Each structure stands twice: as C-alpha cells, then as structure tokens.
Amino acid sequence: MELTTVWFVLIAVLWIGYFVLEGFDFGVGILLPVLGRDEKERRVMINTIGPVWDGNEVWLLVAGGATFAAFPEWYATLFSGFYLALFVILVALIVRGVAFEYRGKRPSSPWKAWWDRAIFWGSALPALLWGVAFANIVRGVPIEEIDGNLEYVGTFFDLLSPYTLLGGLVTFSLFTTHGAIFIALKTDGDIRRRARAVAEKVGLGSAVLAVAFLVWTYLISPELAFAVLSVLAAVCLVGALVANRLGREGWAFLGTALTLALAVAALFSNLYPNVMPSSIDSAYNLTIDNASSTPYTLTIMTWVAVIMTPIVLLYQGWTYWVFRRRLSVADIPEPLDALRAQEKSAQFDAAARERVG
C-alpha cells in the first residue's frame, strides 16, 4: 500500500476518533438546557465530560495537522473554501472551552446562565457545521485550475444546499443521541432516566435523517463499499436504540459510537481516491496523488505516528478508566451562596435561642 493511501486512511481514523469522542461532548452541551433542570443537574452533566473534553479535541488538532503535512493542497483548498464555516467552528470551540473554565468562578446564577448558553451554542454550532462541511467534501465543491493551481472559486453560500444542510442535521441529531446515551451511562438517578428517554426520541429522528442522507449520497455516487458501511451504520444505530430502551447503556453507547465510526468510514470510502472532488469538472479533482506531500515527508510522518500514537491512546484510555464512575446529584456539594445562606440562618437561630434563654 502506498503511503498516500496509508495517510488517507489514517486521517479518516483521526476523524472517526474525533467524531466518536467529541460527538458525545457536543451532545452533552446541546442537552445542558434540556436535561439540566437545576444547578446540581447541570454540574453533574458538565462533570461527566469535565476530565476528557479537552483531550477529545486533540483528535481534531492532530487530524488538521496530519492533513496539512500529508496533503497540503487539500488543507489549503479546504481552509480557503470553508474559511467562514471553519472560523465559526473555531470560535465556538474556544467559547465553549472558556465557558467550562469560567462557569464556576462566581456563584451568581446569571453569571452561570450566560456561560451555560455559551456551552450550548459552542456545542450546537460545530455539531451542525461539521456535517455541512463533510457533505460538501463528499458532494464536491467548485474547484478550478488557476495559474497552474487547483483553487476553490465559490462563495460561502455555495456550501449551503438542501443536501449539505441535511448532512448538518444528521450530525447534529446523531451527536445529540450519542451525548444523551453517554449521560445515561455516566449518571445515576432521575437524570439517567430522562437521558434515556431523550436518547430514544432524538435517536428515532436521527435514524430517519441518517437514512435519507445516506441514500441521497449513494444516488450521487453509488459505491459498493459505501453502501455496505452505511447499512452497518444503520444496523448499529437501531441496535443502540434497542439497548437504550432495555437499559443497557454500555451497549447503547457502543452502538452509537460504531454508528458514527462507520458513517465517517463510509464517507471516506465514497471519497477515495479523491480528497476534494470538483463540482465543475472531474479533471480538477484533488486526489491523494496530486494533493500529497513528498514521499520523504510521508515516511518521516509515518515513523512519528508509529511511535507516538500508542502513547496517546494509552494515556487517553487511562483517563477514561480513572473517571469511569457514575455521578449523581448526591456527589455535588451545595453552591457557595446556599452554604452561606445556611450558615447565616444557623447563626440567626443560635442568636435567637440565646435571647430566649
């Protein structure tokens, strides 16, 4: 297998890891105002992803870095054509990260409410826009040869179509389902029950959207590998919903994780050997050959990946193992302002008893 193909597969694996791991982070953020009925429940939800969300984002950084190093033409065209959409995603991710850090800096309820909104939008926008971006990559975008270089010649609005917006709704709903099942897996008590109910309702909607999108994609580019992987993804999603209904959250989470993994694999299999098809003329397609770096660069990258990838996987796996315990509202201490109110009340009662005595 040529190194260009190897790195195409590795980049697909990195995106699979990102969508599976960051997907439930997005789902938790989207469901924060839905399942978090009070401060303690919202803190439980945030704490389920608190130790891992920043590590999950590393998969995106590595995927971007690998694309830049292995396929610089792909990276340049992608960022020039999708600049505004990727900028919005970047800002949303930054705002969400700041919200996680600053939400608990003050006990004020309005302060926390504003950061909760930031967490919601910082999760919802990327969940939607990643689907729009990948739908455009698979469908093809206006790429043309200019001065010997293959360049994006469209506008931001060329990226918006019924097909690509459907792709955005698919990722949004799948991430929400994935996040709801993760909350059910990581929590206990009433919030666990409500998370399972939300996962069932949203999951049915996401199944319908996903089937429509995959069929539409197959009609655009009928590939056998894509069809097989799509059917497997649909089966895994149905299995996840059945497991969720039976209260088997672990199997349900595995099902949605496999659904996302197989869906991303299906899109990349449909794309190969292109990395960005041109909607103007197939002669302008960016492929793994005309968009790649030199063989020497790919060789060095391969050795680095062979050495570092197992270390990163072991470390991240250890993190999940350490923070594997379920959480409930009983694990959340009273807010500082409530403790102060209780302390003042106790002091008032003590003073009153002294006066009576």
Q: What is the pLDDT of residue 182?
A: 96
C-alpha to C-alpha distances, 109 to 39, 44, 134, 343, nearest whole angstrom: 9, 16, 38, 19
Angstrom distance (rounded) from CA 179 to CA 26:
7
Q: What is the pLDDT of residue 252?
A: 95
Q: What is the pLDDT of residue 352?
A: 56
Q: What is the pLDDT of residue 354?
A: 63
Rg (CA), the chain: 23
| Residue linked to tokens 């009983």 | 330
Does an H or E element contain 152, and which? strand 149-152
Structure tokens that stand for 226 in this block: 């894509």
Cβ count within 10 A of residue 300: 13
C-alpha to C-alpha distances, 103 to 30, 59, 94, 285, nearest whole angstrom: 16, 25, 14, 46
Q: What is the pLDDT of residue 344?
A: 56
Counting as low any pLDDT under 50, the low residues of the chain are: 341
| Beta bridge partner(s), residue 150 | 145
Nearest to 93 by CA among 113, 64, 136, 134: 64
Angstrom distance (rounded) from CA 261 to CA 13:
8
Q: What is the pLDDT of residue 265?
A: 94
Q: What is the pLDDT of residue 341?
A: 47
